[in-house]
Amino acid sequence: MKDLLLITPPFTQLNTPYPATCYLKGFLNTKNISSFQMDLGIEVILELFSKKTFQDIFKNAFNNNRIVSENSQRIYTLKNAYLQPLDDVMAFLQGKKPTFARHICSDNFLPQASRFNQLDNLDWAFGSMGMQDKAKHLATLYLEDLSDFIVECIDANFGFSRYAERLGQSANAFDELYEQLESEPTYIDGITLKILEEKLQTVQPKLVCFSVPFPGNLYSAFRCAQYIKTNYPEIKIAMGGGFPNTELRSVTDIRVFGFFDFITLDDGELPIELLAFPNPSKGGEYKRTFLLENDTVVYKNNSSKPDYKQSELGTPDYSDLLLTDYISVIEIANPMHSLWSDGRWNKLTMAHGCYWGKCTFCDISLDYIKIYEPIAAKLLVDRMEQLIEQTGETGFHFVDEAAPPALMKALALEILKRQLTVTWWTNIRFEKNFTKDLCQLLKASGCMAVSGGLEVASDRLLALIDKGVTVAQVAQVTRNFTESNMMVHAYLMYGYPTQTVQETVDSLEMVRQLFEIGVLQSGFWHQFALTAHSPIGLNPSDYHIIPNTKPITFANNDVEFTDTTGIDHNQFSLGLKKSLFNFMHGIGLELPLQDWFDFKIPKPTIQPDFIYHCLEIETNFSIKPTAKIMWLGTKPLVTEHFKTKRGNTFYSLKLTFHNTTSVLDITLDKDKGTWFLNRLDSFSVTSTTLPSFSELKKDFETHFEDFELFWFSKPINQLRDNGLLVL
């Protein structure tokens, strides 16, 4: 028996838990509030994609005459071939039967329907990937075939990472969702509610909290709440998470509160604490909470308690979740997207909110972006170590809006000081502080990929977005990451207000050049969407758009609008995405951009070597006096040499540095080489205090002259390319 049951409703990710309930449970632990959490989505998926359930699905589809298309007929005809390996395929994707990969990769083992039509391109797309990855991809296609059968014959709302998503998208009124909830539960609802019932019986909670991150979780949350209200009317039910935080800030429809007692906004810790243990003497104390009073929806924020600081929230707690049962799938379309779907990740944030907080398309008026509060690097790494101990996983996805470079540097230094072996990735802004040296440091600490918003690759539009970067700057930063062997993914945007056709074409040309020169490895095009809480949504006339506003009684975020330019940006969608898919695989980079579109487009006005010239940057001899000096390598082997010329003997030191893949030799005159060797320990990552550039210069010039001449010499530059960092 627990006080709270925390639920992520179907569906989010197959490979790793969505972290909201883990964060909340970690906080509740600090308050000695007992809780149990479940990812209802993965539990439904595991029940659904089992031999036993699919036997019933095939029978159900046949008995109800749902098998209509040629594709579903093929799958049904081959039903025994689909059923026999299903449990083993799921176990393989859970990492429990790695040797099964050989079976999966053998010819004609898995049955094939429409999802396998792309197999002709398998070797092209996967190159020299190993058997495990190839098997994961084949198994993914096999599951997608079965998913197509479910969608056509059983439940049109099904999707692996979403359910009935359209009911939650731009649902200004509750009517359509309510109508769906008034109808009979679907087949998948039946599985969902059966698992929920078992958990309710076991946990016996006083309060059930649904975390709803996306529109694709909304319907299931309501269906589950409906079941609890009907069968356990004494249990209170709350909803929070990303969807209500952005979409339900204007809810007025009283029918919503026939399902939920409370809807909380923004950071959930204090609101949930007050709901878990209400104070009767205060007649109900609430923090950012909607509820029903006297048949009217009211918003209460009457608690005088301040929200908790990030340092007070505790470490996310992954207990109760079925961590060994998540499944890793591999889709070939996008290398960065494979990070989302392949492998288990512990999820953390470096900072609450966004340190930039200016982008005009973003919800910067809302607390989850607006209130910026970083977490100290030492506390972050403490939490990482606790999660490694709890979960056994050393991979971390920092889910920041944009991770701050200074905090990333401090995090990397702390990881290296503790000699942790971890793998991590995060989202960033492509800003100038990501120097070559910082990127080398991040890589050394285990960072293996970054994603960031290039948005519209146009300096005029980047300025209008208030992104704070230029295309040239993005090119230089992506080069720094790429040369440090980290994968770079760019979020790309088209259809931004006032964007012209020429700017769309020029933006694509910029992207083509970034892939051609090799500083970008992955990307994804999004069409601009207007949100109610962004600067554009709040001041649409400033951006020459006309919002098509509707009465709001339920959800309010995505807003339909008319662009006064009259340009149909939808027409570019296919060509942009098709070209990008090919660019990511090194295909078609030499083709005219016109070849990707079936309508006439203007020629790009960007010079074909624009990005190349952006990267031709001269060496910067200006170093901040406060910059810290650090050496990532090992101590060198030292040999002394001398040579005599015209009666004078010159002594030198040869320093041989070994790293994991190569050897570097440099030669310094003996006096300066001895000075450098004596200082090298102070550059080490394990050093208590790294010396600053000015301290090093001052120390050098007490013995010799002209530190800059020494520092920018060829031998030191060789070390600079091999782990001697200025941070």
Question: Is a pLDDT exceeding 80 seen at residue 533?
Answer: yes
pLDDT digits (tens, 9 = 90+) for 212-257: 999 999 999 999 999 999 999 999 999 999 999 999 999 999 999 9
Beta strands per DSSP E along 27-131: 35-39
> How confident is the prediction for the chain on average, in pLDDT?
91
What average pLDDT does this structure show over 150-167?
87
Question: Is a pLDDT exceeding 80 seen at residue 342?
Answer: no
Distance separating alpha carbons of residues 525 and 458, to the nearest angstrom = 14
Distance separating alpha carbons of residues 54 and 48, to the nearest angstrom = 7
Whether the Cβ atoms of residue 81 and residue 112 lie closer than 8 Å to each other: no
Of the candidates 711, 716, 718, 725, the residue with the CA atom closest to the CA atom of residue 662: 718
Question: Is a pLDDT exceeding 70 seen at residue 334?
Answer: no
At 277 the pLDDT is: 84
At 580 the pLDDT is: 93
Question: Is a pLDDT exceeding 80 seen at residue 176?
Answer: yes
Write out 621-636 in H/E/C secondary structure. CCCCCCCEEEECCCCC
At 619 the pLDDT is: 55
Q: Which residues contact 106 (CB under 8 A, 6 or more apart)?
A: none
Contacts by residues 462-468 (CB-CB < 8 Å, ≥ 24 positions apart): 464/360, 464/496, 464/497, 464/498, 464/543, 465/359, 465/360, 465/361, 465/496, 466/358, 466/359, 466/360, 467/358, 467/359, 467/429, 468/356, 468/358, 468/429, 468/431
H-state helical runs in 234-358: 242-247, 269-276, 335-341
Question: Is a pLDDT exceeding 80 seen at residue 151?
Answer: yes
Which two tokens mark 343?
A: 């492998």
pLDDT digits (tens, 9 = 90+) for 370-400: 999 999 999 999 999 999 999 999 999 999 9
pLDDT digits (tens, 9 = 90+) for 574-625: 999 999 989 998 899 999 999 999 999 999 999 999 999 999 866 566 788 9
Instruction: Judge whether 4-40+164-312 and 333-614 match in fold.
Output: no
At 116 the pLDDT is: 86
Distance of CA 563 to the CA centre of its chain: 30
What average pLDDT does this structure show over 73-87?
96
Whether the Cβ atoms of residue 218 and residue 169 lie closer than 8 Å to each other: no
Which two tokens mark 593?
A: 């951009």
In sequence order, the β-bridge partners of residue 527 are 494
Distance separating alpha carbons of residues 244 and 577, to the nearest angstrom = 31
Question: Is a pLDDT exceeding 60 seen at residue 126?
Answer: no
pLDDT, greater one: 269 or 125: 269
**pLDDT exceeding 70 applies to what percent of the chain?**
96
At 108 the pLDDT is: 84
Question: Is a pLDDT exceeding 80 seen at residue 119?
Answer: no
Region of 397 please: left (phi>0), alpha (psi -120 to 50) or beta.
Answer: beta
Instruction: Identify the CATH class of 4-40+164-312.
Output: alpha beta
What average pLDDT does this structure show over 135-154?
94
At 8 the pLDDT is: 98
pLDDT digits (tens, 9 = 90+) for 619-663: 566 788 999 999 999 899 999 888 877 777 788 899 999 988 899
Describe the crossing of helices 40-48 and 215-231 by its angle, rounded to 10 degrees.
90
What burial letters (b/e) apply to 487-502, b meaning 16+ CB within 10 Å?
Answer: bbbbebbbbbbebebe
What average pLDDT does this structure show over 56-68?
94
At 645 the pLDDT is: 78
What average pLDDT does this structure show over 312-337?
87
- Residue 205 dihedral angles phi and psi, to the nearest 5°: -80, 160
Greatest Cα pair distance, the chain, in angstroms, is 104
According to CATH, the superfamily of the domain at 333-614 is tm_1862 like domain (3.80.30.20)
Distance separating alpha carbons of residues 562 and 575, to the nearest angstrom = 22
Question: Is a pLDDT exceeding 70 seen at residue 64?
Answer: yes
What average pLDDT does this structure show over 341-365?
91
Residue extents of the structural domains in the chain: 4-40+164-312, 67-153, 333-614, 629-726
**Averaging pLDDT over each range in 506-520, 620-634, 703-717, which range is the top one?**
506-520
What burial letters (b/e) apply to 664-695, b meaning 16+ CB within 10 Å?
Answer: bebebeeebbbbbeebbebbbbebeebbbbeb
Question: Is a pLDDT exceeding 80 seen at residue 460?
Answer: yes
Question: Is a pLDDT exceeding 60 seen at residue 721?
Answer: yes
Q: What is the CA radius of gyration of the chain?
A: 29
Q: Are strands 545-547 and 561-563 parallel, antiparallel or unpaired?
A: antiparallel
Of the candidates 223, 269, 219, 214, the residue with the CA atom closest to the CA atom of residue 245: 214
Which two tokens mark 672?
A: 């300066």
Question: Is a pLDDT exceeding 90 seen at residue 25?
Answer: yes
